[in-house]
Amino acid sequence: MNLTAENIRVTLGGKEILRGVNHQFAAGKRTAIVGANGAGKSTLLKVLCLLNEKFSGRVTLDGQDIRQVGRKKLSRVMAILPQERDAPHDTTVRQLVSFGRFPHRKFFGGESTEDATAIQNALELTKLVDMQTRQVSTLSGGERQRAWLAMTLAQRPKILLLDEPTTYLDVAHQLEVMEIVAEANRKFSATIIMVLHDINQARLYSDEVLIVKDGVKFASGAPKKILTARTLSEVFNVQADTFTNAAGDEIIFPVQRKF
């Protein structure tokens, strides 16, 4: 499905956070939204799925304004994993994952065979099958993030939005989450739109990068072409060096702030 932002403007507390953002997100691809703190990345993500409805401009889904799509239909094709979320203390992993099936169920309907299959597939993809009876509150940070990610995957969305999915995780769990996201993209052909802080994760795990600076679209394109030392200088005000790792990937390493 094609998702397009058209002249998106958002004002919060008298400050214009987004100032006319236009972008068409590549269907079936992984797009990373990057930029400095306060640039408007998370605000844009919330606008794309109507978590924030106080904006001017349009967001279209296959050419139709998402304000006219309807909440029920929108929830069947689009899922978001926000930074802040919570679940009842006694919720098990499987129960949490099953919440992702609510948009597909009829009123007062129980779990269908299709629901069970989607839940099982999500548990398998996130490597949580053996933990499905545990309470979410007992999981480690990395395990908990995988459980929430499994919930969104059980929803079987055509478009998956992720707001800083690796924040607060150690390096191993960051890589684990990014590999799951990549596999979900391959397996379900889902369009992935994710806000990322780690520039190298954006370079390695996305097909396209959208750079937001001071509330506007600064640049977009192939990660290795636009995420360069020069870009870091212009967007983040840092000096960076580049080197090639053992896998042959070019890595950018910030070395100092520019004054």
- Within-domain flag for 93: no
pLDDT given at position 221: 97
- Within-domain flag for 232: no
pLDDT given at position 259: 67
Average pLDDT over residues 184-193: 95
Number of domains in the chain: 1
- Within-domain flag for 29: yes
Range of the domain at 169: 3-85+157-227
- Within-domain flag for 9: yes
Please state whether the predicted TM-score (pTM) of the whole model is above 0.85. yes
H-helix or E-strand containing 48?
helix 41-48
pLDDT per residue as tens digits for the range 46-81: 999 999 999 999 999 999 999 999 888 999 999 999
pLDDT given at position 251: 85
pLDDT given at position 1: 87
pLDDT per residue as tens digits for the range 190-234: 999 999 999 999 999 999 999 999 999 999 999 999 999 999 999
pLDDT given at position 247: 81
Average pLDDT over residues 5-11: 98
One-letter amino acid at 137 equals S
Q: What is the mean pLDDT of the chain?
A: 94
Q: With 90 as the cut, is the pLDDT of residue 245 above it?
A: no
pLDDT band at 143; cut points 50, 70, 90:
very high
- Within-domain flag for 134: no
Average pLDDT over residues 9-27: 96
Contacts 24+ apart (CB under 8 A), 10-19: 10/40, 10/43, 10/47, 10/52, 10/54, 10/55, 10/56, 11/54, 12/43, 16/215, 17/43, 17/215, 18/43, 18/44, 18/47, 18/55, 18/215, 18/216, 19/214, 19/215, 19/216
- Within-domain flag for 79: yes
Q: Where are the strands (E) in the chain, listed by range?
A: 3-12, 15-25, 30-34, 56-61, 64-65, 78-81, 159-163, 191-195, 208-213, 216-221, 238-244, 250-257
Q: With 90 as the cut, is the pLDDT of residue 152 above it?
A: yes
pLDDT band at 89; cut points 50, 70, 90:
confident
Indicate which CATH number applies to the domain containing 166.
3.40.50.300
Name the DSSP class of 92.
Answer: B
d(CA 222, CA 250): 14
Average pLDDT over residues 107-114: 82
d(CA 83, CA 7): 25
